[in-house]
Amino acid sequence: MTDLSDSPSKDELRVAALARRLALSNEARTAAAAAIAARELPFAVPTGAIVAGYVPIRGEIDPFPLMRALLRRGAKLALPVVTGQGRPLTFCAWSEGDVLQRSELGILEPPPGAPEVAPDIVLAPLAAFDALGHRIGYGAGHYDRTLAALRRAKPVVAAGLAFAVQQIEAVPAAAHDVALDYVITEQGTLIFRSR
C-alpha cells in the first residue's frame, strides 16, 4: 500500500485491492475457489436453504465450486439481477445448465421470467474487506441496499467471498454501509457474528 495516501479513500483502496486480485495467476484462482468449496462453513446451511451466489466478473473469486458443493448438500441456488441504479438487487432461482443472459451492465443474469426468490444466505463479491466485516464493492451500493432490505424481512447470512490478498487494514465505512457476517478466503474464515 505504499502508493496510497496517508488516509486512503475507498476509491484508492478499491484500486489497490483490485490490482492485487488481478495479479493472481489462473492456477491460484482455481486453487482458491476449490479450497473455499472444501472448507467447513461457520454457519448452518439447512436442506432447502436458498443460497444466492453471483457470476464472477473483473477477476472475482469463482463462487460456483462452493455453490455446487452446497447444492449437493440440499441447498437451492439463486443469482442476482440488477434492477436499476440505486435499487436493491433481486434474486432469481438458478440451476446448473439454466441459460443466462447478459444484462445492460454486461453481467450474466437469469432471464426475465425466472422465478424470484428471497435468499437465506448471500455469497457477496467484493473488492476489499477488513477484519471488522466491512467491505468495499464497486461503488454502486447494490449489496449494501440489498442486504439492508433482505434483513428487514428476515434473518439473512451475508458471507463475502474473496482472495486473502483483498484484505486491507481498515475500510472507511459510512453509516449506510452494511457489514458482512463472514468473509471466506482460501486461507481461512473471518467471523464477525455468532449464529
Residue 5 pLDDT: 52
Q: Which helix (H) or strand (E) holds 143?
A: helix 142-153
Residue 138 pLDDT: 87
Identify the burial level of 34 via C-beta atoms within 10 angstroms of its C-beta, where 0-12 means exposed, 13-18 middle and 19 or more buried: middle
Residue 4 pLDDT: 52
Residue 2 pLDDT: 42
Q: How far is Cα 68 from Cα 37, in angstroms, rounded to an integer?
A: 8
Residue 194 pLDDT: 52
Residue 8 pLDDT: 87
Could you read off the pLDDT tens digit of each residue along the chain, which spans 195 residues?
Answer: 445 556 789 999 999 999 999 999 999 999 999 999 999 999 999 999 999 999 999 999 999 999 999 999 999 999 999 988 888 999 999 998 899 999 888 889 999 899 999 999 999 999 999 999 999 998 778 999 999 999 999 999 999 999 999 999 999 988 778 899 999 999 999 999 754
Find out whether 78 and 92 touch, Cβ atoms under 8 Å.
yes
Map out the domains of the chain as residue ranges: 10-191
Q: Residues 122, 126, 129, CA angle at the centre, nearest 5°?
A: 105
Residue 42 pLDDT: 92
Residue 54 pLDDT: 97
CATH number of 10-191: 3.40.50.10420
